[in-house]
């Protein structure tokens, strides 16, 4: 196993039982399969299980188009992340990319926004978890969501290897649940009026903005770079594979959902996929999908907290000092950034208390779009400032030094940001 890449990386690999004098560091336990599963699990739980109902309420049977449009937008920015992650394989991710091109202060703004997005997103998915849980037990949604955040924070503290193993099991369950929904809806695909948007193109555009929340996971894959073997090659490949796999699943599930269930009922449901399963396969199928949705959303909360705490850890290092250095401390026995874990968990709870999934998801989206604008701009500038540094992964569609995909990512992120400002301000 190699030492962390990039400037100023902490030397050596932390092991349980290391002494304080050896300055323990994060352990490289993740290969390509684990990172892809990590990304797929994060994206799926944050999206189709959590936000399908909100998006269907404004797009109707055109909601598959919203998922497809959001995938295109996400792919542009995802390719920028992949190239930048190949150049700077650091767990600080966006912070390093922006710092390398625009300087420390803009990078600190991006780091703050990313931690904010991680906390808000975890809160949104925790509320979705509570919505599915309500179909099984009569419990306060906010209380259930707070309890989930507490348990996920404890697992996050225990170790990345435990988180990765749980993620593998939960992601397999997530994909199984989606496969069941797709199978139940196969016979209804021909009846879906995909072009019949009840609120016109504006409704589809608004749904695209909401559904963009479903793809936020690819930006967090870079935050486990320092716990990944050969991150220069592994992280870019994991980003591309994760976005591709989830896009196929999203579109097929969206078509099945509006084919099996009335889009108005979906828009009002706190557990939309369970509703689809009940309409297509009866109460037993609804219970199965509802149970799987619980594991999916719980898994997503866990890995959102993992990625956000690793970002806090990274930018708190003595080489950066953008956040207080105490958050860069690594637990000697567990090999995890325990104070960063506690901070992110604590920041998530207030957003859970808002209790409104749509509002919380919109907060995450607006902030994330600002980050995506900065990341795409960073790659565009880097291509011109350092044209000789083109080793590793390179985003396709290059004209001279210009990255066409990064330019498209910048423009589309700005466009969705305008939609956000027009809707909420």
pTM over the 0.85 mark: no
| 16 pLDDT above the threshold of 60 | no
Helices (DSSP H) in 13-62: which residue ranges? Answer: 32-46, 48-59
* Rounded percentage of the chain residues whose pLDDT exceeds 90: 21
pLDDT at site 25: 61
pLDDT at site 425: 61
> What distance lies between CA 172 and its chain's CA centroid?
17
Mean pLDDT, range 341-366, rounded to an integer = 80
Q: Are 301 and 145 in contact (CB under 8 A)?
A: no
| 110 pLDDT above the threshold of 50 | yes
The tens digit of pLDDT for each residue in 298-310 reads 888 888 888 888 8
| 357 pLDDT above the threshold of 70 | no
What are the boundaries of each domain within the chain? 29-424
* Choice among 246-260, 266-280, 285-299, 350-364 with the minimum mean pLDDT: 350-364
Mean pLDDT, range 262-269, rounded to an integer = 88
Using CA atoms, how far apart are residues 386 and 407, in angstroms rounded to an integer? 17
* Choice among 51-55, 77-81, 177-181, 387-391 with the minimum mean pLDDT: 387-391
Class of domain 29-424: mainly alpha
Q: 396-405 in b/e burial notation, b at 16+ Cβ within 10 A?
A: eeeeeeebeb
Per the model's pLDDT, the better-predicted residue between 22 and 141 turns out to be 141
């Amino acid at each position: 196993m190699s030492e962390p890449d990039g400037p100023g990386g902490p030397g050596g690999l932390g092991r349980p039982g290391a002494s304080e004098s050896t300055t323990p560091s994060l352990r490289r336990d993740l290969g390509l399969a684990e990172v892809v599963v990590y990304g797929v699990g994060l994206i799926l739980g944050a999206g189709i299980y959590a936000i399908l109902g909100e998006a269907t309420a404004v797009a109707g049977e055109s909601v598959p188009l919203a998922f497809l449009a959001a995938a295109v937008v996400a792919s542009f920015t995802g390719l920028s992340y992949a190239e930048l992650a190949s150049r700077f394989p650091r767990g600080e991710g966006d912070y390093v990319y922006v710092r390398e091109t625009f300087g420390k202060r803009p990078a600190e703004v991006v780091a703050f926004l990313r931690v904010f997005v991680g906390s808000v997103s975890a809160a949104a998915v925790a509320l979705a978890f509570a919505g599915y849980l309500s179909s099984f037990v009569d419990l306060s949604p906010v209380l259930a969501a707070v309890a989930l955040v507490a348990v996920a924070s404890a697992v996050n503290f225990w170790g990345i290897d435990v988180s990765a193993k749980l993620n593998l099991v939960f992601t397999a369950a997530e994909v199984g649940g989606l496969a069941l929904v797709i199978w139940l809806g196969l016979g209804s695909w021909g009846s879906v009026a995909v072009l019949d948007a009840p609120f016109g193109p504006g409704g589809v555009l608004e749904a695209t903005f909401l559904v963009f929340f479903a793809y936020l996971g690819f930006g967090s894959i870079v935050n486990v770079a320092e716990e990944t073997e050969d991150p220069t090659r592994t992280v870019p490949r994991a980003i591309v594979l994760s976005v591709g796999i989830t896009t196929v699943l999203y579109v097929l599930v969206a078509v099945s959902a509006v084919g099996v269930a009335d889009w108005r009922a979906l828009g009002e449901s706190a557990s939309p996929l369970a509703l689809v399963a009940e309409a297509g396969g009866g109460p037993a199928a609804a219970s199965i999908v509802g149970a799987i949705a619980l594991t999916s959303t719980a898994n997503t909360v866990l890995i959102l907290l993992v990625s956000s705490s690793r970002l806090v850890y990274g930018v708190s290092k003595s080489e950066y000092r953008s956040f207080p250095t105490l958050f860069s401390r690594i637990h000697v026995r567990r090999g995890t950034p325990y104070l960063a874990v506690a901070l992110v968990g604590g920041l998530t709870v207030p957003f859970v208390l808002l209790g409104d999934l749509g509002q919380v998801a919109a907060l995450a989206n607006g902030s994330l779009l600002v980050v995506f604008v900065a990341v795409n701009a960073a790659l565009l500038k880097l291509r011109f400032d350092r044209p000789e540094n083109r080793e590793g992964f390179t985003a396709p569609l290059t004209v001279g030094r210009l990255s066409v995909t990064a330019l498209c990512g910048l423009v589309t992120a700005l466009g969705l940001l305008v939609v956000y400002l027009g809707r909420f301000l």
